[in-house]
Amino acid sequence: MRSNVPGYAGRLLRVDLRRREFTDVVFDEPTLRKWVGGSGLGAKILYDEVASDVTWDDPENRLIVATGPLAGTKVNGSGTFSAVTVGPMTGGSTTTQANGFLGAYMKFSGYDGLILQGHADRWVYLYLHDGVAELRDAEHLLGLDTYEMHAAIAAELGKKEREISVFGVGPAGERQVRFAAIIGDHGHAAGHNGSGAVMGSKRVKAVVAARGPRGFAVADEAAVSEAAKRLTEAVLANPVGRNGYEWGTSQNFVGAAKGGWLPIKNYTTSLFAEAPAFMGERYRQSLEMKPSPCWACRSKHLHMVTITEGPYAGFYGEEPEYEQWAAWGPVIGNTDVTGAVVLSVEVDRLGLENNEAGWVIGWAIECYERGILTKEDTGGLEMTWGNVEAARAMLRKIAHREGIGDLLAEGVKRASEKWGRGGEELAVYTMRGNSPRGHDHRARWVEMLDSCVSDTGTISVGPVTLPEEQGAPAKFDAFNWEQVAEVAGKHQGRMVFEDCLGTCRFTTRGPLAAVAAAVAAATGWDFTESEGIEVGRRTVNLLRAFNLKRGLTAALEYPSKRYGSTPVDGPAVGKSVAPYWEEMRAGYYRLMGWELETGRPLPETLEALGLGTVAGDLWGDA
């Protein structure tokens, strides 16, 4: 049985791993319109099916892999999916996205998403093709990194590399490293909040989907094509968007350095003179570049690269994105671009979440420099600033939980608290347990606030895109707490809505009207911008209710001491968020319609979003 709503394959697949049983899950049109897909639909399933006492590694936890109505269409980058689960970093809800091909190929195989539940009794991989699903043995794949895994499965199935999409876990996920990621198609990551550890706990090595003919219809093919064209034109009309389209997200490096939000040496400084070397227009001159775009994407920002000279000559892997460059350049004090390429690819192959891995290594280096960690502690590794080979060896220790790697595999918050000796003063994290993206948020308060209060396991307000469309100022003072709260509160909803669509965020940075028009063209609904924002805010509020029931209260919505510290140099020198934190957070709560003391969504807020049952769960008869 399938639904016949345009834009959808019409069903999700429930996989009971313990029983090895498959069941189709079909949602009616009102439910699809209410949640759209991706993160929204995943959040609904998580809330409905996972009790508040279920831990991340419990068989009753769900790992939901879902795409949306634009996946597999002509919209650029429409191979995206969301992974939704209870994550091990925070113990709360997670929504994290990956680009590549799986979202499109899964839909071509007849499924809008997957619900993985239970634990398999032995390692398996899930293979989707021609409208059917199979669980295949994966014991022979254990120990393979994510690149090797893709090659081995392709050979086993008799497929060429691009004829299948493979997303799974490397050694880190197999050993349930707390910040393991789901990695696929040579370097694309659904990484936040330990989604790979959850997949590893279920003994699922990979999800594989074969490319086939598009087996679903959209309401208006010509209108979808026109909407896709408008979205691309909107990106190219913006100088920042065009720059990223041509050169990739590394083009943020110099701007980040000038703005004080490039993260350098574990937040000990804000000065990094070598930033220009990490810009695509510079490093592409000395690397061999082969275009490697995602599904239906014309952007030139992604390549497979070969290092042509120096100690790493011949090394091959995916071109890093900005946050990878940041983690393996300035965060660890490394100025060698080729070394940063090597570490970025190493992280992808091992199956680690990039940002947390960077903060862990940066913390270990600072501890080593201060004598809090010794050479004996590190197993003989000289963890000094910029030591690429030591960082590479430590990443392998973490992925295999060897020596001190077993401690670091718990993430920087838990590792620093357990190690103590003053090291807990140096770690960058939120008090919930996850870490920020690859920025110095001491110069970007809106993202520090977002990181600490978000219920997605990462940011949810996201990079601010045309905030004036939602009544926020187009330009604002990054250090004015009132303006920061206003932008965060009024802009909330857009990014999470985009995460429901099955598309890369870089393709939806134009006017929200163009995004809504694409949804309308695919589904046939009279879908509007305001409806899209409502979908996003509904999802945000549902995830918050889920987390509140699990004990993730406002008491945890703070940055760690180092994360919330005052810059000692650079563009944001002397700027301290600490005196304004409570007022800023309260201002955000007020705009979200949440109780000021607790951050609990008010009954009227939930009712207005169609979440009356959730209001009863949180407030009872109050």
Q: Where in the chain is the domain with CATH 1.10.599.10?
A: 441-492+528-619
Angle, helix 146-157 to helix 337-350, in steps of 10 degrees: 50
Asked whether 90 and 179 are in contact (CB, 8 A), the reply is: no
Residue-wise pLDDT tens digits, 269-289: 999 999 999 999 999 999 999
Asked whether 312 and 294 are in contact (CB, 8 A), the reply is: no
Task: Please tell me the predicted confidence (pLDDT) of residue 508.
Answer: 82
| Sole residue written with tokens 């794949």 | 141
Q: Per CATH, is 12-210 categorized as 3.60.9.10? A: yes
Q: What angle do CA 360, 365, 366 make, to 5 degrees?
A: 100
At 471, the amino acid letter reads G
Task: Please tell me the predicted confidence (pLDDT) of residue 505.
Answer: 86
Q: Can you give the pTM of this predicted structure?
A: 0.98
Residue-wise pLDDT tens digits, 159-193: 999 999 999 999 999 999 999 999 999 999 999 99
How far is residue 23's CA from residue 185's CA, in Å, rounded to a whole number? Answer: 27
How far is residue 493's CA from residue 510's CA, in Å, rounded to a whole number? Answer: 15
User: CATH for 441-492+528-619?
Assistant: 1.10.599.10
Task: Please tell me the predicted confidence (pLDDT) of residue 431.
Answer: 98
Residue-wise pLDDT tens digits, 214-242: 889 999 999 999 999 999 888 888 887 78
**pLDDT over 70, % of the chain:** 100
Residue-wise pLDDT tens digits, 133-155: 999 999 999 999 999 999 999 99
Work out the widest C-alpha separation in the chain, in whole angstroms.
69
Neighbours of 555 (CB within 10 A): 10
Task: Please tell me the predicted confidence (pLDDT) of residue 617.
Answer: 96
Exposure string of 81-105, with b = 16+ CB inside 10 Å and e = fewer, is bbbbbbbbbbbbbbbbbbbbbbbbb
How far is residue 265's CA from residue 270's CA, in Å, rounded to a whole number? Answer: 8
Per DSSP, the three-state class of 574 is coil
How far is residue 253's CA from residue 40's CA, in Å, rounded to a whole number? Answer: 32
| Average model confidence (pLDDT) across the chain | 96
Residue-wise pLDDT tens digits, 438-471: 999 999 999 999 999 999 999 999 988 888 999 9
Position 248 confidence tier, pLDDT thresholds 50, 70, 90: confident
> CA 163 → CA 141, 211, 329, distances in Å?
19, 5, 34
Asked whether 313 and 307 are in contact (CB, 8 A), the reply is: yes
> How much is the average pLDDT of 392-405?
98
At 11, the amino acid letter reads R
| Sole residue written with tokens 């000692």 | 568
Q: Where in the chain is the domain with CATH 1.10.569.10?
A: 271-425
Task: Please tell me the predicted confidence (pLDDT) of residue 622.
Answer: 63
Instruction: Evaluate if residue 372 carries a pLDDT over 90.
Output: yes
Burial of 577 (0-12, 13-18, 19+ CB in 10 A): buried
Assigned fold of 271-425: 1.10.569
Q: Where in the chain is the domain with CATH 3.60.9.10?
A: 12-210
Residue-wise pLDDT tens digits, 55-76: 999 999 999 999 999 999 999 9
Asked whether 82 and 38 are in contact (CB, 8 A), the reply is: yes
Residue-wise pLDDT tens digits, 9-59: 999 999 999 999 999 999 999 999 999 999 999 999 999 999 999 999 999
